[in-house]
């Protein structure tokens, strides 16, 4: 996944980096099972026109393309789409989601994964995406909530645990410095509602990973790709080596960051205001998004 920014946001990783291909492969290994389960439940089907933004290795783009078939179509939009394989019903576009021309009232589904938390102007982007949906179309966003720092459950030793904590603090500090909102995923339903979407749903997904599996190997990959800014924030080379050792050790156990996937639907024309849809005809009670 590559995101361009204008202004204070800057995506912290690069598809062109030596670790770029490995990073995207690991992200797919962590998230694809959850993403395809959600997309399968919402009924992606033949003939749909879909937009996949920040598609990384293109695995979800291709999953959607198989579902929509030859009568459907998927546009895959990324600043650097070098890792996305092409297919007959897929158009790969190079561009910035904030400035790329998007057809109005066009898509049955727009999917964005690990994208919006990185953008300071995410609310403006969401409004652009809503305008590109057909009435009745669906926006699906998935982002990590990285506000919890206690993801490491068991390390090989105390030195590895301390090194991992220092690595996490520095890594998340880099993301925040570059404009990421580490807790936005929990608040995503509020942003979707503010943009006019209805029928909101959110589900949270997480699991425990032993050392040597995808979520922990992602920390290893990140430790190489962001080595210089991590060192600039006070992490030492010795600590980075301890993190890599721990994340490769099968005895290590760490949770991934929880994935919040939120879904909203663009209302059909003349649909009633959801604020007046309770049985008594008065304003519906607001529900707190978790």
**How many other CB atoms are there within 10 angstroms of residue 81's CB atom?**
19
Band the pLDDT of 289: cuts 50, 70, 90: very low
* E strand or H helix at 143: strand 133-144
Report pLDDT for 272. 59
User: Would the pLDDT of 32 be above 60?
Assistant: yes
Tokens coding 231: 């060192």
| Tens digits of residue pLDDT in 202-234 | 999 999 999 999 999 999 999 999 999 999 999
Range 74-91 average pLDDT: 90
User: Would the pLDDT of 279 be above 60?
Assistant: no
Phi-psi region of 54 (alpha: psi -120 to 50; beta: other; left: phi over 0): left
User: Would the pLDDT of 72 be above 50?
Assistant: yes
User: Would the pLDDT of 140 be above 90?
Assistant: yes
3-state secondary structure (DSSP) of residue 58: coil
For residue 222, give the nearest of 168, 272, 283 by alpha carbon: 168
Determine the angle formed by the axes of helices 214-225 and 158-177, rounding to 10 degrees: 60
Q: Does the global pTM surpass 0.85?
A: yes
| Tens digits of residue pLDDT in 123-139 | 999 999 999 999 999 99
Q: How many angstroms separate the Cα of 29 from the Cα of each of 32, 56, 108, 130?
A: 6, 12, 26, 29
Report pLDDT for 86. 85
User: Would the pLDDT of 36 be above 90?
Assistant: yes
User: Would the pLDDT of 18 be above 80?
Assistant: no
Report pLDDT for 280. 42
3-state secondary structure (DSSP) of residue 167: helix
User: Would the pLDDT of 159 be above 80?
Assistant: yes
Report pLDDT for 81. 86
* Mean pLDDT value across the chain: 89
For the residues of 168-187, what is the DSSP string, one character each? HHHHHHHHHHTT--TTHHHH
Report pLDDT for 48. 98
């Amino acid at each position: 996944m590559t995101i361009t920014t204008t202004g204070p946001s800057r995506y912290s990783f690069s598809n062109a980096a030596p670790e770029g291909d490995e990073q995207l492969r690991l992200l797919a290994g962590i998230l694809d099972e959850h993403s395809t389960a959600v997309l399968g439940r919402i009924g992606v089907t033949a003939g749909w026109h879909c937009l996949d933004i920040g598609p990384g290795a293109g695995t979800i783009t291709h999953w959607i393309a198989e579902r929509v078939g030859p009568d459907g179509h998927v546009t895959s939009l990324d600043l650097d789409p070098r890792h996305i394989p092409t297919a007959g019903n897929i158009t790969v576009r190079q561009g910035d989601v904030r400035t790329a021309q998007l057809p109005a009232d066009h898509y049955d589904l727009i999917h964005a994964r690990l994208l919006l938390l990185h953008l300071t102007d995410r609310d403006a982007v969401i409004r652009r995406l809503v305008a590109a949906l057909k009435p009745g179309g669906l926006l699906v966003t998935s982002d990590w909530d990285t506000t919890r720092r206690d993801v490491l459950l068991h390390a090989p030793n105390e030195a590895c645990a301390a090194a991992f904590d220092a690595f996490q603090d520095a890594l998340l500090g880099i993301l925040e410095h570059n404009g990421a909102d580490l807790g936005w995923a929990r608040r995503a339903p509020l942003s979707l509602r503010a943009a006019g979407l209805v029928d909101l749903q959110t589900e949270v997904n997480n699991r425990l990973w032993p050392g040597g599996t995808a979520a922990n190997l992602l920390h290893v990959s990140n430790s190489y790709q962001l080595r210089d800014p991590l060192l600039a924030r006070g992490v030492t080379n010795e600590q980075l080596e301890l993190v890599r050792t721990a994340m490769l050790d099968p005895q290590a156990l760490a949770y991934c960051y929880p994935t919040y996937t939120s879904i909203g639907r663009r209302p059909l024309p003349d649909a009633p205001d959801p604020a007046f849809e309770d049985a008594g005809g008065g304003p519906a009670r607001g529900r707190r998004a978790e």
